[in-house]
Structure 1
Amino acid sequence: MKFSKICIISVCLSTLLCFLGCGSIEPSNEYGVYIGANPEDLEDRDLPSTIVIDAQYYSSEEISSLQVDGHIVYTYLNIGSIENFRDYYSDFEDITLGTYENWEDEQWVDVSQVKWQEFISAKADELMDKGVDGFFVDNCDVYYQYPTEEIFSGVSNILEDLKDKGGYVLINGGDSYVTEYYNRYYSLDAILDGVNQESVYTCIDWDNDSFGVNTDEDREYFSDYLNMVLDDSKDAYVLEYTNDSEVEEEAYNYASKMGYIPYISHSLELK
């Protein structure tokens, strides 16, 4: 999963570890992202009430079991890019737009194309048929990369279709697109129920393969974005990355103070 403006460079939310408490922090029981986990990876774990998985790798029975245990289950859905190792890549290679920075095996997709919109809608139906409660939608940032009216309309068509399916729609990142949509229509009702933003308090330094603390300017930018979402009566989630216990506590306390639902990871890997 990726987004557009963190520590000046594009960053991918790949996968996450469950939040571990430190210092005065208690582990969050509200929210966790387990996109890289197979069903067996989640066995015997104390999972939060809302979890994000990649339901493509789960059966309807496995999803139902999670729900019986009291979990709300959202599934990852990538609407704006495609990896070249996907078995359907050749079907859409002709509508790719360019390489995803830092992810050489991934291409941005022209979401204005009807065949891509139909593919995403069918994929969403397939996942809904498994019983998921909604979608964790990634790479609306295709509009940040290609800010044309056609791409804006394509993203809007996809999100409106997802909302019509009846599940919860949680957008990962997407600040440029969501802000533009809100400025045009003064409401986000038609496209989403919540926004997840990565690295509001923290940041990722890809050049040095390390975690850090965001600049005040970047933090303020993303906080303004999430506050806009909250002001429209939508939910605001944050995902932070750090292996520093003091920064972890600061990030958690900042999210709590701002009214965001936090999930803090010590790693980009989820096992």
Structure 2
Amino acid sequence: MKAKHIKCLAVLFSAVTVLLVACCKDSFDYGVFIGDDINQQKKYECYDNIVVDPSSFKSKQVETLKADGKNVYAYLNIGSLENAQPYYKSYEDVLLDRYDGWPDEHWADVTKEKWQRLVVQDRARVYKERGLDGLFIDNTDVYYRYHTPEVYQSLKSMLASLKRQGFKLIVNGGDVFVSETLKDGSAKKLYDGVNQEDVFTTYDFNKKKYGRQAKKNTDYYERYLKQARKAGLDVYIVEYRAGRELSKKIDAYCDRHGYKWYNADGINLN
């Protein structure tokens, strides 16, 4: 009786495992983990496309992920700099105002050749050496903050250079910059996809509270993403702590439009 009971449990366990693996493969095709390290790679098994902080990964870890069929994107901050970066002191002379909501980060003067070399030569070389083929480009919002033709052209120049090096590029946020490239027809030549945060959810930095995005903002982002998709770009969405009912709505929305989305546990993305 005991042996039979154990055998039944084993069969049940196997069935549940198969079911979980199937659900895992079907449900999670995109995840953003820039607050993680290599010791947390177990969670990546359920994702086909992942964004990671490249400073935490060595070539061997990247090779393992790619061998498992995953598309791995390295986070690359193109428009600002955190003081935690080891090269921060060397670039203080090209930093501008403090980044609202992130006290340890400053906007960068992207028109400076020194900054451009850091992005398209130094960082790009390191990421290539680690086997990373994709880049998750953050903070083209610098064009919204410093709205000049020089900033716009500098961002385009850096993206074009990264693209020529064979990277697949996803631009995170930067709707003002992206919209400008959609208007002048350069978007598809510069990058492959866009990621937008907070389409349906939001985070109040002052109150440190997660909530639901205002309808007018959701409507704006939906129109914006539709334009990006129409231009032939891949579309990704990151939400923060979307509840069960809202998640169902987002699932249906993304299924209709062919978007991928990730429901993050918090703004630190870990």
Is the pair's TM-score, using the shorter chain for normalization, greater than 0.5? yes
The one-character-per-residue Cα deviations of 1:9-57 (angstroms, maximum 9, x if unpaired) are: xxxxxxxxxxxx9xxx997331111111111111365331111111222
2:88 matched to 1:51? no
More helix by share: 2
Find the aligned partners of 2:170 and 2:53 in 1 and give their Cα distance: 14
| Contact residue 203 and residue 212 of structure 1 kept, 8 A | yes
What's 2:70 paired with?
A: 71
Does the Cα contact within 8 Å between 1:211 and 1:243 map onto a contact in 2?
A: no
Pairing 1:164–2:153 present: no
- 2:199 paired residue number: 200
Larger radius of gyration: 2
Quote the residue 1:10 is aligned against: none
Structure 1 stretch 200-209 or stretch 114-123: which is displaced more? Answer: 200-209
After TM superposition, the structure 1 = structure 2 runs for residues 1-271 of structure 1, keeping only pairs within 5 Å, are: 28-43=27-42, 46-121=45-120, 122-184=122-184, 186-271=185-270
What is the CA–CA distance in structure 2 between the aligned matches of 1:196 and 1:137, rounded to whole Å? 9
What residue identity is the alignment partner of 2:134? G
| Preserved contact between residue 76 and residue 135 of structure 1 (Cα < 8 Å) | yes
Query: Sequence identity of aligned pairs in percent?
Result: 35
Letter of the structure 2 residue corresponding to residue 145 of structure 1: R
Matched residue type, 1:237: Y
Q: Distance in 2 between matches of 1:58 and 1:180?
A: 34
Residues 45 and 259 (structure 1), Cα distance of their counterparts in 2 relative to 1, 3 Å cut: closer
Q: Please tell me whether the aligned partners of residues 226 and 236 of structure 1 are also in contact (alpha carbons under 8 angstroms).
A: yes
SS of 1:32's partner is strand
Q: How many residues align?
A: 247
In structure 2, the CA distance between the partners of 1:102 and 1:30, relative to structure 1 (3 Å rule), is same
* TM-score normalised by L of structure 1: 0.85
Quick one: distance in 1 between partners of 2:57 and 2:211? 34
Once the two structures are TM-superposed, the CA of residue 159 in structure 1 deviates from its matched residue by 0.6
Give per-residue Cα distances to partners, 1:194-245, cap 9 Å, x unaligned. Answer: 0000011112222332222212211111111111111111100001112522
Runs of 4+ off more than 4 Å? none
TM-superposition CA deviations, 1:148-198 (whole Å, max 9, x none): 1111111111111111111210010110011112212x2412211000000
- 1:231 corresponds to which letter in structure 2? K
Note closer, same or farther for the CA distance 1:82–1:27 as it changes in structure 2 (3 Å cut): same
The offset of 1:137, in angstroms, is 0.5
Q: 2:16 — aligned with what?
A: none
Which of structures 1 and 2 has the larger relative contact order (alpha carbons within 8 angstroms, sep 6+)? Answer: 1
Larger displacement relative to structure 2 (56-65 or 245-254): 245-254
| Cα RMSD (Å) | 2.0
Give the TM-score of the pair, scaled to structure 2: 0.86
Query: Kindly tell me: are residues 181 and 96 of structure 1, through their superposed partners in 2, closer, same or farther at Cα, counting changes over 3 Å?
Result: same
After superposition, the Cα gap between the structure-2 partners of 1:145 and 1:27, relative to the gap in structure 1 and judged at 3 Å, is farther
Structure 2 unaligned blocks of 5 or more = 1-19
